[in-house]
Structure 1
């Protein structure tokens, strides 16, 4: 996840003399959570580089956006603040809320794997005080967990992914008037995705992937990042880690065999990569979901 100084929404809240931070968790995978309270405040968000999903836990009936004073918040109401959006908020009375911060690379990976679309063609739809009982229930379940306890942190991560996936499937739309240039054709993207998924256990080279599209390595790498939102090696690593999570949750394979099945050179390399991405070892992850 981006360092805190690059999470502009987090920093804007932190600078308020009235806001209080009650919990913070870096979940890996480009996701972070923060739980806040605030009262009698004014906050402006100016083109953050990340997406923010939020849910009001209590209060909010005196909270509104300056440009829409008649639309007020309430408990369980959700807000979606896409990257690059701008908004100005007036907080009257006491509120408690939780934020999920999402890096644009994590959004890009979801756009490709869930929707089979180029991330640059899609955007989260901005929403203020949205009603979605399913999402609100996920946020409330998150807030009942101890984010610092390893087993519960893993469940926290899973719920955060569910929140983002739900938003991708329900609140993502096409960018109006966008004309895409310079990326891979849809048939090339599908061919690459299928090839990568079928060969995650094997070494994959840039030249091998580029040959599937009849491109030089140089042009392929640029076009891949344009279409997928992240470089080839980071996409492949993300898919290997996703395969590892599935095997750890749904099989009894020894950790060394999981590492080999997901294309990692050694169990130690697998463990290091997994811990960096998910803030837990493979063994802790398996124990949390099988215990």
Structure 2
């Protein structure tokens, strides 16, 4: 994901002389979080390239959208601001709120994994001052963690992914009037998903995947991206890392074996890719999970 200062909603808040950033962190590939305080302010969000989920942690009773002055915020209210949306906000008084910034690629992975839908036919529905106690509780748990401490940041990342999954399942719907052009046929997409999941321990070249759809590499790469919302190598890496996290959580296999089971050429390659995506090496991730488990007993 882009550095935090390149995310439009984050940058709009950060540019305000009245807003104060309490904490921020990357929570993994395509995912970041921030905790803010603000007062007596006005902020405009103009077609950001990322999705933003927000939860009012405290106050906010004087906050409203400029076009809806009679509809006011309150603690535990949630807002969903999809990529490409435009909104204008007025803050009267004080507010403390948490933001979760989600890339289009991360949303695409959720659509494929949870909904078995092409991301381009789905949209995250905009919502203002939504009541969702389960999501609000997750946000409160998220901000209760120390994002600078590796073990707690990994737990925060897990919570952030749970928030995304909940939003995809509950707030994503079909785009109205959309006519899909190009891309893979639904049966080809499902076949590829199943084939990749069953063969994550194999090299899985672009040519091999293209042959399974009887396409040239060039056309396959274009059609895959149209249907999956991200290129083949990025999707494959995301699935390998997801499998690696599952194996690290569930057992004590040697890290070299985990690397091979997830299709990485070597333990060092696995470690580098894992650290880039998760902010910790596989060994640190496993150790952090162990500390979290001990602390919960």
Q: How many residues are treated as equivalent by the alignment?
A: 291
CA contact (8 A) 2:12 2:45 kept: yes
Aligned residue in 2 for 1:153: 153
User: Structure 1 residue 70 and structure 2 residue 62: aligned?
Assistant: no
Tell me how far apart the structure 2 counterparts of residues 137 and 5 of structure 1 sit (CA, whole Å).
27
Tell me how far apart the structure 1 counterparts of residues 79 and 36 of structure 2 sit (CA, whole Å).
14
Tell me how far apart the structure 2 counterparts of residues 276 and 282 of structure 1 sit (CA, whole Å).
11
Aligned residue in 2 for 1:251: 251
Aligned residue in 2 for 1:91: 91
User: Structure 1 residue 241 and structure 2 residue 241: aligned?
Assistant: yes
Aligned residue in 1 for 2:203: 203
Tell me how far apart the structure 2 counterparts of residues 124 and 52 of structure 1 sit (CA, whole Å).
10
The CA deviation string for residues 229-284 of structure 1, in whole angstroms up to 9 with x for no partner, is 11001100000000000000001111111001000111110000000000011011
Gaps of 5+ in 1: none
Alignment of 1:1-291 (within 5 A): 1-291=1-291
Tell me how far apart the structure 2 counterparts of residues 99 and 180 of structure 1 sit (CA, whole Å).
32
Aligned residue in 1 for 2:295: none
Give the C-alpha shift of residue 287 in structure 1.
Answer: 1.5
Give the C-alpha shift of residue 6 in structure 1.
Answer: 2.5
* Cα RMSD, aligned residues only: 0.7
CA contact (8 A) 2:4 2:32 kept: no
TM-score (structure 1 length as normaliser): 0.99
Tell me how far apart the structure 2 counterparts of residues 112 and 223 of structure 1 sit (CA, whole Å).
15
CA contact (8 A) 2:50 2:103 kept: yes
TM-score (structure 2 length as normaliser): 0.97
Give the C-alpha shift of residue 214 in structure 1.
Answer: 1.1
